[in-house]
Amino acid sequence: MIERLKDLIEALIFISLEPLGLEQLKLILQEFAPAEIERALAELIQDQEAGRGGIRVQMTAGGYIFATRPEFDAWVRRLLSIERKTKLSMAALETLSTVAYHQPITQAEISALRGVDATYTLKTLLQKKLIKISGRKKAPGSPLIYRTTDKFLEYFGLNSLEDLPKEEEISKLLEPDRLEPLEDEPLDRDAAPAQELQDPTRANDEGEKS
């Protein structure tokens, strides 16, 4: 029974268009006891990690997906013909990092932290659905407040905001090979592709527009 349940969970994760969470699995697999589902999922992950295949089950954005093993990344990218120019610009990365570490946060607060107007990059990040407007701050003018989205978590391979790295780990996380492309054009047309992010509050985008 447990082997069949593992196969069933594997099929559901494979076919899902979004990360499939444990609670969703329990809702779908109503014929099985929650404890059995949890056990089968744990064994499936263990089997994938111990196996010799090129695919593993990875938790991201609060759910489970199938992902290729990191050691095969170069060949996967070659197959998909991914161009490195599609990376987030330094301006976009710094703005996104500021939102991630200080959310909820307003545009004025972001600009003050970075020492440069962030209007243009905020608009771009909103278009890419890496951040969202989550309401208004109770302050004069009722400014909009921004937060990161689930797509932000998926993009950086994080399960939750608690998994955000310390500042000294940011550079490694944002290495070019770790970033997934979003489209065929750079996020910020006025800044060069980013290599690393040393300080999320540092102004480093002279070409950023308002």
CB contact at 8 A, 2 and 40: yes
In terms of pLDDT, which residue wins out, 20 or 174?
20
Helix (H) / strand (E) element for 169: namely helix 167-173
DSSP state of 206: T
Q: What integer pLDDT is reported at residue 66 of this predicted model?
A: 87
State how far the Cα of 108 lies from the Cα of 166, in Å rounded to an integer.
24
State how far the Cα of 31 lies from the Cα of 184, in Å rounded to an integer.
44
Q: Which residue has the tokens 């196969």?
A: 7
CB contact at 8 A, 20 and 12: yes
Output the average pLDDT for the chain.
Answer: 78
Checking if the pLDDT of 70 tops 70, the result is yes
User: Phi, psi at residue 59, to the nearest 5°?
Assistant: -90, 130
Q: What are the structural domains, with CATH classification, of the chain? A: 2-79 (1.10.10.10), 84-178 (1.10.10.10)
In terms of pLDDT, which residue wins out, 80 or 43?
43
Checking if the pLDDT of 65 tops 80, the result is yes
Which class for 119: exposed (0-12), middle (13-18), buried (19 or more C-beta within 10 A)? middle
State how far the Cα of 117 lies from the Cα of 167, in Å rounded to an integer.
22
State how far the Cα of 43 lies from the Cα of 198, in Å rounded to an integer.
39
User: Would the pTM count as exceeding 0.85?
Assistant: no
Q: What integer pLDDT is reported at residue 170 of this predicted model?
A: 59
Q: Where are the beta strands (DSSP E) in the chain?
A: 55-60, 63-68, 105-106, 131-136, 144-148
CB contact at 8 A, 97 and 197: yes
State how far the Cα of 194 lies from the Cα of 174, in Å rounded to an integer.
8
The model's pLDDT over 51-62, given as tens digits with 9 standing for 90+, comes to: 778 888 888 888
The model's pLDDT over 171-202, given as tens digits with 9 standing for 90+, comes to: 555 554 444 555 433 434 333 333 333 334 44
State how far the Cα of 170 lies from the Cα of 167, in Å rounded to an integer.
5
pLDDT confidence bin for 34, thresholds 50/70/90: very high
Q: What integer pLDDT is reported at residue 162 of this predicted model?
A: 85
User: Which of 3-7, 87-91, 200-204 comes out lowest in average pLDDT?
Assistant: 200-204
Q: What integer pLDDT is reported at residue 173 of this predicted model?
A: 53
Taking residue 50's Cβ as centre, other Cβ atoms within 10 Å add up to: 8
The model's pLDDT over 118-172, given as tens digits with 9 standing for 90+, comes to: 888 999 899 889 999 999 988 888 999 999 999 898 888 788 888 887 756 655 5
